[in-house]
Structures are given as C-alpha cells and as structure tokens.
Structure 1
C-alpha cells in the first residue's frame, strides 16, 4: 500500500483566551495519498483554516497548543525544531492563502518575492531565478510577465495577486500543497484554469493537495475525497461522489442545499432568493416568488454614457509613459429604480474600475455618469458630496473597509454625521434600527469589527451604506469571500432590502450562480468593453458572444458525475489591456438578438451603429 504523503491523527488545536485554553479543532483525522486531492469544507469558524495552519506550524507558539499527530510521509512534524520546520515549509509543503495582499510584501516587487523563494530553497543563481520566475508567472497566465516582474503588488488586481501567490507556492514543486480558499478571489475562467493547472502539476509531480474551500462546485470539480467540518469537528468524511449523492449528516445536506446551481432558474424571469435551509434537518424551503418590481417607464437612477478610463504606464526615471492601460473603453448602460444590473467578467476586464469611476474614487478620462440626471463627472467639492449621498458602495473585504478602531455603531453613524443628516443623538438612535434591518441586534453596536464573523461584518457594511438612504448601491464582489450558507443569507438580505426600499444595485461579481439569482439584467465585460448585455434569462439561456459562452462553460458544477464534461477552457495568455500611446480604439457595432439583448459584432468592429444619440447602445 502506498504511504500517504500526509497523515493527520486526532489533531486537537487549542488557543489561550481569557486565561484558559479553548479548543477550536478537536480530534480531526485524515490522510492524503500522492496525486490525491482531499477537500476540507465548512463554513467560517468551522476550524478548517486552523487545521491547515496547524499542519504548517504557523499557529502562534506562545498562544496555541497542538496535540495528536501530523506526519509528512514518515516525519512527525510536531516534534521538529523551528529551523527544521522552516526548511520543510516551502520546500516540501507549500501553502496558498486566501488573501494575497496580506501575504505579499507591499514594498518588494513581485519578481523579487518569487526569486527569493527560488534562491533560498532551490539554491539557484539570481539570473536563473529571474528566468524561472518569468516562466512561473507565464504558467499561471499573467500577461506580459517579463515586464511585470518589476511591479509591486498594489499594481495587480486581486485575481492577479492570487495567481502570483500560486506561482510562488508551486515554485519549489512541493510534495504537499495546502490551498486555503485559493480561488475565492478569482473569476470563473481563471479559477477553471488554476484548478486545471493544479491538477496537471499534481499528475506530473505526484503532489498531494489539501484543498480548503466553501465552494461546493470546486469540491465536485477537483476533490477525490471530502471532509466536512462543523464547529471544530469532522461531521462527515468519504468519497466526494458519495458525499454529494447521499449526504448522511444534516449539516452536509444544508451545505449542499445552499449551493447556487447554474441553470436552476430556467424559465423564471425574476430574481429569486436562495432557499432557507434548516441545519437540523437539512431540508431547504424554497422562497416565495416575487413579482417584477422594475417599471420600464421609470427614469433610470443611473445613466453611464461612453465612459472611458485609462492609466499611463511609467517608462522609467525621467521618461514619459511607455504605454497606456485601456481599463474602460466606451462603456454605456443604465440602471432603473428597483433593478439589479450585474457586471461580470474576468479580473482586469474593467468592471471594478467602472464601479470606482461611478463612485468618483477613480478619475474617468471622458464620458458622463448621470445620477438622478446630475452628471457626477461635472461636480466637485460640496456639490459632489451632496449628490454622492444618493450612491453608496459595498466592498469585497468587509474587514478591510471597516476601521478596526471604530465600533460597529460608530462606523454606521459616521456617514450620517459627516453628511449632517442627523445630530449625534439621532444618528445613534438610527444605528439600532439599521442593525435590526440587516438582521443584527442593536446591542451589537458597541462591538469592534474583530468581534464579528465575516458575514456579520458584511451586514454592518450594508447597514453603513443604507445610513444615508441611497437610491443606488454599487456592490463590488460583496459576497465572493463568504461561505455558501452566509452568502445565501447576505444575498437574500440584499434582495429583501431592494424590495422594501426600491433600491437599485450595480452588482459586480464573478460568481455566476449568485448573478443568476440576484440580477434583472447582466452586462458582460471583456478588456474594458461590454461585449454582451441583456435580461438575465437571455444571457444565461441564449448567450451569443463567444466570451459569454466561455464564461458560463467555466462555472464549476456541484455534481461530481459531471467532472469529465468537456469545457471550453482555453489556456492561452490573457490579452493585456496595455496599448501604445498612439492607439486609437475601434468603434464597435452591436446586434440586437431580442428586446434588450445586444451583443458586440467582433467581425465589424470599425462600424459605428451607436447612432446620433449620445446615450450609447446599452441605455434603454
């Protein structure tokens, strides 16, 4: 019998809190064979990440205690000296963390950080390390890798930073790769490529993979066996196919019931909430269907017309720009009262830049952004602040967007006080109402962000956004970092608030399952341009543009029996939006497929059918 690469027996990890030891992982056991992938799944706080940190020896030595046994082949890791463990980390065991920005050094270039791992662990020269770094970056599909090795982490998108982390982890070809939510920040096409890349390297090197995730579609796609954790313990374990086809534990059934299944809303025109799931029985209760709340005759809350955003690339010391990033190119759309328009596409396609331009957090080169008929790009100072109360933003990482020194109540009250919508007493009285509105208790106002779970922090961010009573909310990957059950709760909350307050959402996301649930219309972006836009049902049931079809085919299906299905996942390098300084973008032509469903005609890209109206082709 083949010796396991990793054997974990009765792992128990405790932390010192309030003068006593509290166990957060209890009696967890599993093993992983060469070339095998074991998925550990569970919601936030279940203990899956602590399990990974315990294996790596990365828990704080003065405040943690690890019991049981952790063996890498025949080596007992819990008995190794710190120096010996440092040698094993990176050389024989590598780890990909969920949040790349906190894992990468912000003051060192991407190239120097990967080269450092290569020179330390593989003993190669600096020149060899630089060449290997370029090869690794190219292998994880980072465009213009040779020029980008000298850039810093802040110059990369979230998805690109995660690809850098994956390249770094794979640099020394480890025996065991621990991947802690490695594809959470990635769009579906890059996620599919990364999963394929990990599987390819796994076959080539005989590498074992411990895959920690809350995405059950990814589990079905990649895992041979699955361990389900709840409250620090293993509640179910077995072959992935058996877990999905015949889950024994009620919690496992509740997890699977909360998974968005692409295509499950076929024939349903309107957004539909996620089922509510009973954790005791695992039974899902389907939500009541809602009538359409969007009136086509209402004037749009937001009208974006011919929006352009470009960024100069520095050419070096005392030199002008060497090129220009065309981040957003001639983008037009509108959002009506009570409507959700989803903006989808790969990392770097321009969807977040579009949202930031609308919020005036990024400066647009040209175009117009009409919020209730007032052009935000033409306003400054007090006039801009006054109008911007009508639009708020929910960011991807709630912990990073909340001030750790402010209580939840102070964070929610601040927008009301800054905008002089209420005095201090009125603001703090309203805080309790807002917390109740987002499903939290008023007495939580005195807690700090670290005292909340990820889902609760995102609810606080939603309450803060609602404090100034906006008509439009820009939600930038607002649920992508949440586990499936919490994600379903937050999406249901957003839809409930939309119905009650007639809110409009610009929902920026790469999670196509959630997009299908929440959106009225969908706009697909590629290289800064909208290539297809239309009603949700038209985009999901009748995609016309090749990129839209590629995007949908890359979505992992939460069904292990579909693992071998043929998907159009291309491994070609992503086209860079970097252009020469004299580049003139072509004018585009769009075809109407059905009412409101428009697709870019890539074969006639120099013909302008936008007409004499300055509204653009995607405004109704």
Structure 2
C-alpha cells in the first residue's frame, strides 16, 4: 500500500454528474464519476474525444458556463466541498489551492503582456506581495521550470517562446501559489516528442520536491499515462469503465474499451526488420478483440525512374526591418534538401516543429516559392513551370493537411468539396463528378448518402477521410500527408493510417508522410528522412534508421518517444532543455557544405 493510500486524499470526487442543456432537455455527459487523488500522487483520466475527461476537470474547477450546465455530486478538496462554495470563495481556491494547465498555452497567455508581468500578476493577486517581490519570485519560478536565462527572458512576450517553453511558462504560473493540486488537461498533446519528454520529466521532478503537489493528468495517450500516472481512470462516453493502479490497467485491463485503447497504441520497435509497412490492428470496442495486422503488399520498384526527385532544394523567407523595410536577414527554412520517392513508396519526413519538414512539402507543390534547387515530379520540372503548367502538374500531387476542418469550406457540402477539383480541372461533367464522388466516399469508408452533409456534421476522423477523398479526386500519383493523423485519437489514427496504406496498395500511390510521431512513422514508412534546422541529417530504410540510428538528433528523437509500459514511470530521460536553434541567418550568410557518409546500403548520415 502506498503512503498516499494511508492518508486523507487531497481531492475526493463523489458521484459527479455533469449535464448540458440542449433544446430544453438536460443531457448528462459525465455520469456518476468517483475517484480520489492522494498527496503527491498522479492520477490520470484517459479516454478519447467525447469521453468526458475534460468536462470532468472543468467541473472540478467550476469553469463550466452557468445556466448551460448542471453539476451534481461532491468535489471535496481537503474535505471542503467546492460545489457548495460561493463564487467569490471559489475564485480564491482557483490558483491558490488548485491550478490548471491546458493543451494550448497560447490561448491562455496574453500576447500583449510580457511573460514576467503575467506571472507577477498571478503572484500579486493570490499571494498579496509587492511588485518587486513578485518580479524576484517570477524569475525563481522560471528557473524552477528550467527555462534558460530566466532573468533576461522574463521581459519577452509569448510569441518569442517555443511551444514547449510556453508550456513551461504555464506550469510556472500554475505553481506560483504553491497549489495542492495541479490539473493538467492534455498538456503535451500539441508538443513535439522531445518537448513532451521534457515536460513529463519536469512534472515528475516538481512532484519529488519538498512542496510536491498532487496531479490530475488528463490525456488520450496511453504511452504518457504509463510514464506518469500511479493510478488511472478509463472513461468512455461519460462513464468510468475501469479504474485502478496503472500497472494493473496495462497488464490486466478487464474492459474491452481499455484493451482497445492499449491495442491501438503503436509501440516503437515492434516492427523489427520488416521491409514493408504494417497495418494497425483494428480493435472492436465492444469485445476488445484486435484484428491481426497485415503487411502492405506493395509494387515498389526502386530501379525505375523516381516519381519524385528533389535535388538541393532551398527555401528561405526574407526578414525586412527598418524604415525602408530593407532585407536584413532570412529564415533558412529548407537548406540543400535532396531525396527521391519511388512509385508506391512512403518516405517519412520527421523532426520537431520548425525543422522545415512542412515547408519542404509546400515547396515541392509550389505553395511556397523555393529559392533554388530542382524538383522533378512525374516528368515535370516543377520549379520552371508557368501558371497553366503548374495547375496541370498539381493533378499529379495533392496534399492532406493536419486540420481537415480548416481545409474544408464550412459552407460547402462534402459532395461539392470532393467534386470541385474534378470539375475545376475539366475532367468531366457534373454527373460524372457526382459518380466519382460517390465512388471516392465509399473507397475511404464513408457512404454516398453523406454527400449532402456539411463538414461540421462529421467527426474529426471522418473529416480527414473526406480530405483524403478530395485529394484522390484528381487521381494523383503522389500525396503529401502533412501531419495528417497527429490531431486524431489513437483508434481513429489507426483507422486513417490503415486507409492510407490500403490506398497505396490498391492505387500504387507514393506518400511523402510528414510527421513528428516516431511510432506511427515506424509503422507506415519504407524509408525515413530526419530533418533538423532545414537540413536532412539522416536518411535511409526504416529498419536501418530505427534499428541503428547514427546521428545524435535521430537518437534524441527516438529516446523521447513515450512507451506504454508502466515500468518506465520512474525513468527520466534527462533530455537537454534546449529550444530548437534559430534558423534566422544574417544577409549574405552562406551555409557550410555538408558531407554525408553511407553507413549501410541506402543509409546516409550527415557528418557532424
């Protein structure tokens, strides 16, 4: 029995039910939820979108809209029922006794105030200390969350920090009043894998310190749950379907939904020496039974001319300053990138945000204009094309973006959105377009009667299928998938990845798969290219790059991947707290010539 089990819980939730008003009817979205969080204990609530986990946390904080929501039950913080407190007293509890950090720190930070002012404001409000004291403590808090050069950076604004550093600032603000409980709602979901590792290490470290707090950690990532939580609650459609020690949940999950979540998580290293991508197991939520994953039988022939050939691609963005707006520097987004892509092949571009992988994909399609280099695509010399030929070239290559809702017109029906490219390129009549749209919807696992619906009527996974159908309407030979599954729940991610692999097998598609999710990349790719600061630092067959990584940055990426194994909970990665180096270079800067060595057939690494 743990020490926390023998003492009074910091938080005790009893029979919590949350309902929302819809058309004068109260509909429960969280039903009869009960759990405890002990001193210095981390309890995780896990589940997919719509399971009720975030609503549970907002109900505990009493942040749900009055009138539109109803909360029943008890939420006891050190024995005090928060649901019975007047709003004025509850405001004192928030920040003093309970603090919360959210998934996207930019929505929680004021872009017009410095970081120092925002932390100091919290200290002055809750601790009643002077402005001078607040400044000193703000610097100490930034140092506590391992932000380098805190004394200077306290005068900077949120936009001057990376995503990981902004999340550290949010943790510093949450710690300002030394709360007894920290609620972390998907705090690492939007972060790169190395930054996610740093944040998890930081939370473990803060909990070990003398004034260590309890943590309620909300996520849909079972790998993160395994690494941080002592106990876990699994939620499904508003109900807690299983709860208990994390190790027991992972080793002996009783409920089909728990087993479904665990089976859907890709495990790094599970591919071994396979040469071909492997489909994800699809799990029946009602029974917990997983389908047997199968290899993708491809028609890959690298002896033929590549469908896409990129040589010495350079893309830079000018920075202008001064009264005359003269060019003073440039962002070296893509620097001397070269690779080939064969028909039926998947090449994954991996790296952290800002490494240039998305700009590489957009440069190939001429959505941004490269400065120099050569791009040969299906017989086109892409960088020399005029507007008419460029339009024709884009029939050969299409792009699937991370956020399908942003890339679909909300005022356009799904059928119209899919048929629009077909009609715009003059490939047939409206009747033929409807027929092709119906065929595409069925090919991506949807039904023809969905053609009249609008994007808001679909789930995230369905919207991504619609985006894929639209990309296929021109019968492209190459698809650039730019973080196309990173925003999806784990089971939906598995379904969409399988769809892409099925389409590759049946249509011979080539994919440039842009991602920072190393476990997914290992599963779906034939070859992998690792990017850092606009350059490819390592490229080779998937088994070679993952089985024998040569570059220090590649090893860092692989080491940071959370593994769904509770035995790793006490492990710390000790990832250096560095931001990605600045790709801005002064005017006239000439990058050094890079040399590569071949460490195995087709496996090249940049010499450091």
TM-score higher than 0.5: yes
User: What is residue 225 of structure 1 aligned with on the other side?
Assistant: 231
The unaligned stretches of length 5 or more in structure 2 are 1-5
Counterpart for residue 258 of structure 1: 264
Are 1:524 and 2:539 matched, yes or no? no
Instruction: Give SS of 2:201's match.
Output: helix
2:219 aligned partner: 213
Indicate the SS of the match to 1:540: helix
For 2:130 and 2:423, the matched residues in 1 are separated by 58
Aligned to 1:336: 342
Moved more, 27-36 or 222-231: 27-36
Partners in 2 of 1:137 and 1:328 — Cα distance? 32
Q: CA 1:194 to 1:47, structure 2 compared with 1: closer, same or farther past 3 Å?
A: same
Structure 1 partner of 2:204 = 199
CA distance in 2, matches of 1:509, 1:533: 15
Checking the alignment, whether the CA contact within 8 Å between 1:160 and 1:347 is kept in structure 2 is: no
Deviation at 1:382, TM superposition (A): 3.0
* 3-state SS in 2 of match to 1:389: coil
CA displacement 1:134-168 (0-9 Å, x = unmatched): 77667767788857965564x77666665555555
- Which ranges in structure 1 are unaligned for 5 or more consecutive residues? 603-620
| Shift in Å, 1:593 | 1.0
1:93-116 per-position Cα deviation (integer Å, ceiling 9, x unaligned): 333333445555567676766665
Asked if residue 560 in structure 1 is aligned to residue 566 in structure 2, the reply is yes
- Per-residue CA deviation, residues 401-454 of structure 1 (Å, 9 max, x unaligned), is 333333333332333344343444433343322222111222223333332222
Contact kept in structure 1, 2:48 and 2:220, CA below 8 Å: yes
Residues 131 and 423 (structure 1 numbering): CA distance in 2 closer, same or farther, change over 3 Å?
farther
- The corresponding residue for 1:587 is 593
Q: Deviations over 1:57-87 (max 9, x none)?
A: 2222222111111223233222233344344
- Cα deviation, residue 247, structure 1: 1.1
The equivalent position to 1:569 in structure 2, one of 572, 575, 586, is 575
Judging changes above 3 Å, is the alpha-carbon distance between structure 1 residues 249 and 64 closer, same or farther for their aligned structure 2 residues? same
Give the aligned partner of residue 190 of structure 2: 185
Once the 2 structures are TM-superposed, how far is the Cα of residue 219 of structure 1 from its aligned partner? 0.8
Q: CA RMSD in A?
A: 2.9
Q: 1:96 to 1:407 in 2, by over 3 A?
A: farther
Equivalence map 1:94-493=2 (5 Å): 94-100=99-105, 102-103=107-108, 117=122, 120-121=125-126, 146=152, 150=156, 153=159, 162=167, 165-166=170-171, 168-204=173-209, 205-313=211-319, 315=321, 320=326, 323-493=329-499
Mapped contact 1:303–1:370 kept (Cα < 8 A) = yes
Contact 2:298 2:344 in 1 (8 A): no
Alpha-carbon deviation of 1:14?
0.9
User: For 2:357 and 2:275, how far apart are their aligned partners in 1?
Assistant: 24
CA distance in structure 2 between the aligned counterparts of 1:417 and 1:434, rounded to whole angstroms: 15
- Tell me the equivalent position of 2:27: 22
| 1:225 Cα offset (Å) | 0.5
C-alpha contact 2:197 2:573 (8 A) present in aligned 1: no
1:256 Cα shift?
1.1
Q: Secondary structure at the match of 2:18?
A: strand
Question: Residues 504 and 454 from structure 1, CA distance in 2 versus in 1: closer, same or farther, beyond 3 angstroms?
Answer: same
- The alpha-carbon deviation at position 265 of structure 1 amounts to 1.1
Could you give the per-residue CA deviations for residues 248-284 of structure 1, whole angstroms, max 9, x where no partner exists? 1121112111111111111211100011223233222
- Out of 541, 545, 557, which is 2:547 matched to? 541
SS of residue paired to 2:347: strand
Residue 610 (structure 1) aligns with:
none
| Contact 2:349 2:529 (C-alpha < 8 Å) held by counterparts | yes
Whole-Å Cα distance in 2 between the matches of residues 418 and 104 of structure 1?
Answer: 43
Deviation at 1:478, TM superposition (A): 1.4
Determine which of 59, 73, 79 is the counterpart of 1:74: 79
1:6 aligns with 2:11: yes
* Larger deviation, residues 126-135 vs 197-206: 126-135
What is the SS of the residue equivalent to 1:25?
strand
Verify the 8 A CA contact 2:233 2:244 in the aligned structure 1: yes
| Cα offsets for 1:16-39 (capped at 9, x unmatched) | 123311111100111112321111
Range 189-198 or range 59-68, more displaced: 59-68
Q: Deviations over 1:331-370 (max 9, x none)?
A: 1112111111111112222222222322333332322333
Deviation sequence 1:179-220 (CA, Å, 0-9, x none): 222212222211111111112222233222111112111111
Aligned partners of 2:155 and 2:425: how far apart in 1? 43
Matched, 1:56 2:25: no
Corresponding pairs, count: 601
1:241 positional shift = 0.8
Return 407-416 or 514-523, whichever deviates more.
Answer: 407-416
Shifted more, 436-445 versus 355-364: the winner is 355-364
SS of 1:206's equivalent in the other structure is coil
- 2-structure distance, mates of 1:566, 1:450: 41
User: CA distance change for structure 1 residues 432 and 168 in 2, over 3 Å: closer, same or farther?
Assistant: farther
Distance 1:61 1:432, change over 3 A: farther
For 1:320 and 1:200, locate their aligned partners in 2 and report how far apart those are by CA, in whole Å: 47
TM (normalized to structure 2)? 0.90
Which stretch shows the higher mean deviation, 239-248 or 448-457?
Answer: 448-457
User: What CA distance in whole angstroms lies between the structure 1 residues aligned with 2:452 and 2:396?
Assistant: 27
Quick one: structure 1 residues 471 and 235, their matched pair in 2 at CA, closer, same or farther if it must change by over 3 Å? same
Deviation, structure 1 residue 590? 0.6
Q: Is contact 1:24–1:231 with CA below 8 Å preserved after alignment? A: yes
Question: Contact between 2:198 and 2:574, CA under 8 Å: does it hold in 1?
Answer: no
Partner in structure 2 of residue 501 of structure 1 = 507
